[in-house]
Structure 1
Amino acid sequence: MKKLAKWRLFSLITLMALILSGCGKPYLSTLQPAGEVAKSQFDLMVLSTLIMVGVIIIVTIIFLIVLFRFKRKDESIPKQVEGSHKLEIIWTVIPILLLLVLAVPTVLETFKLADVSAMDKKDEEGNTEALVINVRANLYWWEFEYPNEKIVTSQELVVPTDQKVYFNLKSSDVKHSFWIPAVGGKMDTNTDNINKFWLEFDSKGAEAAGELFYGKCAELCGPSHALMDFKVRALPSDDFDQWVATMQGIEEPVQADTAKAQEGQEIFNNSCIVCHAVTPANTTPEAARQAPNLTNFGDRAYVAGILENNEDNIKKWLTDPETVKPANKMTDTYGDLTPEQIDALAAYLSGLKVQK
């Protein structure tokens, strides 16, 4: 009875694991590719799956034929076969051919993804002709720098659709991994070297996703690894150019427009400004950028990358960031704020908008 109970428990756990493996959010799925890289990776997954399923079907058929056709019918000893050179050659050559079918397109696509030669082509002013974005991963937030455009932003990556976007990836502290499931990629960000690759954001996929893709850290990096999200706003080229022009036109912080927001701005300038910038210019040395840039905080879809951007969630984050993202750097630096100060600061942060 105990053995039967164990098998029942094992069967139940197996069934639950099978059911839960299908759970997830559609915008984090790699099975709905929205870019050239994602489509290539999806095609490789389909190819490998078809090969594996084909092998399983063929082996199962052979097994059933042997099981029923050559089933022992009497007590006589069958003819002993010590070996067959023909069969040995067949079952050696076929796996090699299957591996080649998998390896050749995989290697070709890997080298294609690693081709970042366009990043070396520069104009007369020394700027790259291609769009290059420097990605810097931190515990537990992301910074995005556009060196040609002289813009720094955080938590929400803005890119144009239907063109290659090149990335320089690095980390400020521990190993992280940059991944946008629907668009492709997944590449480590290290502290001692810069990894480079490119992605393309499909306009149709962006339209289906509401212009907002979801990015994740794909390398276990600490208590809030699962909460180290970022968002990707994929815009048509004209809209992206307009966003760049708007960000470049901001030379002074956005001014508060209400009494409460003005009070919040004063609080911000007396404390938060030590870590957080509210202008997009990349004049601040990288080593001094210790916290997310908040220039367009009010335009972003999420707070801390995971909470819907509204005043209640801003207050929740400011009141106790540790409950939102355990072990985050802000917990030990933001200080104690009264409820009135939090209300004022939330009003100011909500008003940090650059898009009309």
Structure 2
Amino acid sequence: MKARLPKWRVLAILTALALVLSGCGEPFLSTLRPAGEVAQAQYDLMILSTLIMVGVILIVVVIYVIALIRFRRKKGDDSVPKQVEGSHVLELIWTVIPIILLLILAVPTVAMTFDLADTSDAELVDEEGNKKNLVINVRANLYWWEFEYPDLGIVTAQDLVVPTDQNVYFNVTASDVKHSFWIPAAGGKIDTNVDNVNSFYLEFDNEKANEAGNVFYGKCAELCGPSHALMDFKVRAIDSEQFTSWVTAMQNAEEPVAETELALQGQQVYNEQCLGCHAVSPDNSTPAAARIAPNLSDFGNRTKVAGILDHNEEELKNWIKNPEQYKPGNKMTGAYKELNEQELDALAEYLMSLKVQE
């Protein structure tokens, strides 16, 4: 029988592995790099709680070491140290100090919880009856995200576009199973349920957004199926002027027209095989229940295929040929007949040509 590693070696290996893995991750996909007011407040609270816990640990360790050294049994010395059992002073100290520490942590935590839960400003309207603040309806699906701007008449999928330096209010729900909406750099997660709507708000700092190339990433934070880890989406955080231009372009988007012969063939393939599930128009006239697959408007301007693959025709064709290989358990598998290479080439060119803004 092979000799087993001593426990201390196993512990050392696991500790080293944890330290190495803690450095892994995508840029601006970390709660330790806050990129907005909400994220910063949560980060500050996390630092406060960490300092309190580390402080308590250090004090306990120091007392333990002092006791270990000062009161250790010495050779030839059988004397018993002075006993302090029942000391009212010590009992008062170790009762009062934890209460003080708890209050230091509890008061800002409770205050922040109520503050972040207040979404009443989402209903504010101006003199003309228009919403003062941006509201976005988020709908989670296996395994993709839909973003509806109800007051702007726009629907997108996988790519969330938000203005910087202002509160953005989210109403989140799910169409199938429980998911969780999370943009680590912008703030904490919130569950998306089938039977109710949860609301919260986030804010994206313009300076931090510029440092990140105006792109953040979001994920599903609730185990929802075999492709849970692949349920990602992109967030474009742009200034208010750029956001207004984007809204105008999406609201005035025209029916896509194929410009090449191959793209025209691809449009025919799309109409025959994809139209029943996917839309290529960004308007929200179709009821949510009928939107059973991601909206493909502006698909040509995305940076990822299916949220995980590089955005090019080759990866797009790989995804269409075998979506189950990349996202097991997805609802696209088996929803259309197998396409030949000519049809794949044509469909890929047509989808890549879908651009609302150049």
The answer to whether the superposition gives a TM-score over 0.5 is yes
> In structure 2, what is the equivalent of residue 22 of structure 1?
23
For residues 80 and 96 of structure 1, the distance between their equivalents in structure 2, rounded to whole angstroms, comes to: 26
Quote the offset at 1:121 in angstroms. 2.0
Q: Does 1:159 align with 2:148?
A: no
Equivalent position to 1:223, from 213, 226, 248:
226
Task: Map residues 282-293 of structure 1 onto 2, 5 A cutoff.
Answer: 282-293=284-295
Residue 56 of structure 2 is aligned to residue 55 of structure 1: yes
Q: Aligned partners of 1:184, 1:150: CA distance in 2, in Å?
A: 26
Given that residues 116 and 200 in structure 2 are in contact (C-alpha distance below 8 angstroms), is that contact kept between their aligned partners in structure 1?
yes
Q: Secondary structure at the match of 2:188?
A: strand
Following superposition of structure 1 onto structure 2, how do residues 179-198 of structure 1 map, counting pairs within 5 Å? 179-198=182-201
CA deviations 1:107-148 (Å, max 9, x no partner) are 111111111111222346654221000000000000000001
Q: What is the CA deviation profile of residues 173-213 of structure 1, one whole-angstrom value per residue up to 9, with x for unaligned ones?
A: 11100000111130000011100000011111111111110
- SS of the aligned residue for 1:142 comes to strand
> Aligned partners of 1:338 and 1:6: how far apart in 2?
57
Give the deviation of 1:26 after TM superposition.
2.9
Q: Which amino acid aligns with 1:260?
A: L
Q: Which moved more, 1:327-336 or 1:172-181?
A: 327-336
- Inter-partner Cα distance in structure 1 for 2:127 and 2:296: 32
What is aligned with 2:146? 143
Shift of residue 77, structure 1, vs aligned partner: 3.2
- Give yes or no for contact 1:186–1:218 (8 Å, CA) kept in 2: yes
Q: Distance in 2 between matches of 1:321 and 1:241?
A: 35
Q: Secondary structure at the match of 1:329?
A: coil
Q: Deviations over 1:145-174 (max 9, x none)?
A: 000100011000001011110000000011
Which whole-Å deviations, capped at 9, do the CAs of 1:264-304 have from their partners, x for residues lacking one?
Answer: 01110112010001111111011100000001100111111
Q: SS of the counterpart of 1:330?
A: coil
Match of 2:121 in 1: 118
Specify the alignment match of 1:45 in structure 2.
46
Q: Is the 8 A contact 1:185 1:199 kept in 2?
A: no
Unaligned runs of 5+ in 2: none
CA displacement, residues 65-103 of structure 1 (integer Å, 9 cap, x when unaligned): 212222233113334443212111111111111111111
The equivalent residue for 1:321 is: 323
Distance 1:63 1:8, change over 3 A: closer
2:88 is the alignment partner of 1:85:
yes
Q: Distance in 2 between matches of 1:225 and 1:231?
A: 16
Q: Which residue identity lines up with residue 321 of structure 2 in the other structure?
A: T
What's the offset of the Cα at 1:6? 5.7
Q: Name whichever of 16-25 and 186-195 sits farther off.
A: 16-25
Correspondence 1:338 to 2:334 = no
Going from structure 1 to structure 2, the CA distance change for 1:125 and 1:332 (only over 3 Å counts) comes to farther
Structure 1 position 63, deviation (Å): 1.5
Query: Residue 268 of structure 1 corresponds to which residue in structure 2?
Result: 270
User: d(CA) in 1 for partners of 2:296 and 2:135?
Assistant: 21
For residue 322 of structure 1, report the CA deviation from its aligned partner: 0.7
Q: What letter corresponds to residue 308 of structure 2 in structure 1?
A: I
Contact kept, 8 Å, 2:71 with 2:81, in 1: the verdict is: no
Aligned length: 355
* Counterpart amino acid of residue 162 in structure 2: V
1:222-261 map, 5 Å:
222-252=225-255, 254-261=256-263
Q: CA RMSD in A?
A: 1.6
Alpha-carbon distance, 1:35 to partner: 0.3
